[in-house]
Amino acid sequence: MSLQTWETKAQKGRDILENSIPKQWLLPADKLPPATQKNVTDLPRQSGLLNERELSITDMSATALVAEMGKGSLTAEEVVVAFLKRAVLGHQLLNFATEFMADEAIARAKKLDAYYQKMGKLVGPLHGVPISVKEHVGLKNRTCNTGYVSWIDKVTSEDALLLQLLANAGGIFHVRTNQPQSLMHLCCSNNITGQTLNPHNRELTPGGSSGGEGASMGFRCAPLGIGTDIGGSIRCPAAFCGVYGFRPTALRNPLVGIKVAAAGQESIHGVVGPLASSSLEDLELFQRAVLDQEPWDVDTSLVPIPWKKVIPSRDITIAIMWDDGCVRPHPPITRALRHARDKLVAVGIKVVDWEPYKHGHGWEIISALYYPDAATLQHKQLQASGEPACPLSEWSFSYSKGKTLTHAETWALQEERDIYRDEYHALLKRRGVDFILSPAYPAPAAVLGESHYWSYTAIWNVLDLPAAVFPSGLAVDSELDILTAQDAKYIPRSEVDEREWKKYQGPDRYEKAPIALQIAGRHFKDEETLAAARVVDEVVNGVKISNL
Amino acid sequence: MSLQTWETKAQKGRDILENSIPKQWLLPADKLPPATQKNVTDLPRQSGLLNERELSITDMSATALVAEMGKGSLTAEEVVVAFLKRAVLGHQLLNFATEFMADEAIARAKKLDAYYQKMGKLVGPLHGVPISVKEHVGLKNRTCNTGYVSWIDKVTSEDALLLQLLANAGGIFHVRTNQPQSLMHLCCSNNITGQTLNPHNRELTPGGSSGGEGASMGFRCAPLGIGTDIGGSIRCPAAFCGVYGFRPTALRNPLVGIKVAAAGQESIHGVVGPLASSSLEDLELFQRAVLDQEPWDVDTSLVPIPWKKVIPSRDITIAIMWDDGCVRPHPPITRALRHARDKLVAVGIKVVDWEPYKHGHGWEIISALYYPDAATLQHKQLQASGEPACPLSEWSFSYSKGKTLTHAETWALQEERDIYRDEYHALLKRRGVDFILSPAYPAPAAVLGESHYWSYTAIWNVLDLPAAVFPSGLAVDSELDILTAQDAKYIPRSEVDEREWKKYQGPDRYEKAPIALQIAGRHFKDEETLAAARVVDEVVNGVKISNL
Answer yes or no: do B464 and A406 touch at CB < 8 A: no
What are the residues whose beta carbons fall under 8 Å from the beta carbon of A176, sequence distance 6 or more? A97, A98, A99, A100, A101, A132, A133, A134, A135, A139, A142, A212
Residue A548, min C-alpha distance to chain B (Å): 25
Q: How far is B432 from chain A (nearest CA, A)?
A: 14
Contact indicator for A245, A30 with CB cutoff of 8 Å:
no
CB contact under 8 A, B298 and A426: yes
Q: How far apart, in whole angstroms, are the C-alpha atoms of residue B264 and residue B330?
A: 37
Q: Do A304 and B305 touch (CB under 8 A)?
A: yes
CB contact under 8 A, A264 and B410: yes
| Active site (annotated) includes residue A396 | no
Q: How far is B411 from chain A (nearest CA, A)?
A: 4
What is the mean pLDDT of the segment spanning B106-118? 98
**DSSP SS3 for B539:** helix
Q: What is the pTM of this model?
A: 0.97
Residues of A in contact with B384 (CB under 8 A): none
Residues in chain B, how many?
Answer: 548
Tell me the pLDDT band of B546, cut-offs 50, 70 and 90: confident
- Check residue A312 and give its pLDDT: 96
- Tens of pLDDT, residue by residue over B307-360, are 999 999 999 999 999 999 999 999 999 999 999 999 999 999 999 999 999 999
Instruction: Decide if A300 and B373 are in contact by the 8 Å CB cutoff.
Output: no
Chain B partners within 8 Å of A299 (Cβ): 422
Q: Which residues of A touch B411 (CB under 8 A)?
A: 262-266, 377
Is the ipTM, as predicted for this complex, more than 0.90? yes
Q: Check B414 against A464: CB less than 8 A apart.
A: no
Mean pLDDT over B61-75 rounds to 98
Report the distance separating Cα A399 and Cα B260, nearest Å: 29
Chain B nearest C-alpha distance from A435 (Å): 16
Q: Which residues of A touch B406 (CB under 8 A)?
A: 373, 376
Q: Do B300 and A422 touch (CB under 8 A)?
A: yes
Strand B317-320 versus strand B435-438 pairing type? parallel
The verdict on a CB contact (< 8 Å) between A263 and B373 is no
Amino acid at A125: P
Helix axes B280-291, B62-71, angle to 10 degrees: 70
HSE (side-chain half, CA atoms, 13 Å) at B83 = 37
CA distance linking residue B360 with residue B368, whole number of Å: 12
Mutation target among B298, B411, B434, B524 for the A interface, most CBs of A within 10 A: B411
CB contact under 8 A, B421 and A300: yes
User: Which of chain A's residues have a Cβ under 8 Å away from the Cβ of B377?
Assistant: 408
> Which of the 8 DSSP states describes residue B151?
G
Q: Is the distance from CB of A434 to CB of A318 less than 8 angstroms?
A: yes
B99 sits in the region (left: phi over 0; alpha: psi -120 to 50; else beta) called beta
Per DSSP, the three-state class of B272 is strand
CB atoms within 10 A of CB A89: 22
Q: Look at chain A and count its residues.
A: 548
Q: How far is the alpha carbon of A111 from chain B, nearest alpha carbon, in Å?
A: 30
Q: Which residues of A touch B418 (CB under 8 A)?
A: 264, 300-301
Comparing CB atoms, the residue among A263, A412, A429 nearest residue B264 is A412
Residue B101 C-alpha, separation from nearest chain A C-alpha, in angstroms: 29
Nearest by CB: B373 against A300, A408, A414:
A408
Type of residue at A108? R
* CB-closest option in A264, A305, A404 to B415: A264
User: Which residues on chain A are in Cβ contact (under 8 Å) with B422?
Assistant: 256, 298-301
Q: Do A411 and B262 touch (CB under 8 A)?
A: yes
Which residues of B lie closer than 8 Å to A, measured between beta carbons? 251, 256, 262-266, 296-301, 303-305, 372-373, 376-377, 404-408, 410-416, 418, 421-422, 425-426, 429, 464, 523-524
Chain B positions in Cβ-Cβ contact with residue A256 (cut-off 8 Å): 422
> Which residue from B minimizes the CA distance to A413?
B264
Q: Which residues of A touch B (CB under 8 A)?
A: 251, 256, 262-266, 296-301, 303-305, 372-373, 376-377, 404-408, 410-416, 418, 421-422, 425-426, 429, 464, 523-524
pLDDT of residue A148: 98
Q: Does domain A6-30+46-302+314-369+388-541 have CATH number 3.40.50.300?
A: no
Chain B residues within an 8 Å CB radius of A406: 373, 376
Whole-number Å distance between alpha carbons of B10 and A536: 61
State whether B373 and A407 contact (CB < 8 Å): yes
Which candidate in A47, A150, A209, A472 is catalytic? Answer: A209
- Residue B548 has a pLDDT of 55
The overall average pLDDT reported for chain B is: 97
Domain B6-29+45-296+314-541 indexed as CATH 3.40.50.1100: no
Interchain CB distance below 8 Å, A372 and B407? yes
pLDDT along chain A (548 residues), means of 10: 79 98 97 97 97 98 98 98 98 98 98 98 98 98 98 97 98 98 97 98 98 98 98 98 98 98 97 98 98 98 98 97 98 98 98 98 98 97 97 97 97 98 98 98 98 98 98 97 94 98 95 98 98 98 82
Task: With beta carbons under 8 A apart, name residues in chain A contacting B299.
Answer: 422
SS3 for B462-507 is HCCCCEEEEEEEEECCCCCCCCCHHHHCCCCCCHHHHHHHHCCCCH
Cβ–Cβ of B524/A304 closer than 8 Å?
Answer: yes
Q: Do A464 and B407 touch (CB under 8 A)?
A: no
In the predicted model, is pLDDT for residue B50 greater than 50? yes
Closest-CA distance of chain A to residue B295, Å: 11
A408, B303: Cβ pair inside 8 Å?
no
Interchain pair A301, B418: CB under 8 A: yes
**Taking CB atoms and an 8 Å cutoff, what residues of chain B touch A305?**
303-305
Cα separation, B41 vs B46, in Å, equals 9
Confirm if A70 and A203 have CB atoms less than 8 A apart: no
Active site residues of B: 134, 209, 233
- Please give the Cα distance from B462 to B356 (Å, whole number): 14
Q: Considering only the beta carbons, identify the residue of A305, A373, A415 that sits closest to B305.
A: A305
Catalytic: A233?
A: yes
Each domain of chain A, given as residue ranges in start order, spans 6-30+46-302+314-369+388-541
In chain A, whose CA is at the least distance from the CA of B370? A407
Between CA A300 and CA A428 the distance in angstroms is 30
Q: Write out the DSSP string of A450-488.
A: -----HHHHHHHHTT--EEEEEEEEE--TTTTSPPHHHH
Collect all residues of chain B within an 8 Å Cβ-Cβ radius of residue A524.
Answer: 296, 303-304
A533: CB partners within 8 A, 6+ apart = A280, A468, A470, A519
Nearest to B299 among A251, A296, A422 (CB): A422
Residue A46: is it exposed, middle or buried by C-beta count within 10 angstroms (0-12/13-18/19+)?
exposed
Of A299, A373, A408, the CB nearest to B407: A373
Residues B195/B188, Cβ–Cβ less than 8 Å:
yes
Residues B404/B28, Cβ–Cβ less than 8 Å: no
| Nearest-neighbour CA in chain A from B249: distance (Å) | 11
Q: Cα B7 vs. chain centroid, distance in angstroms?
A: 29
Under 8 Å between Cβ of B218 and B241: yes
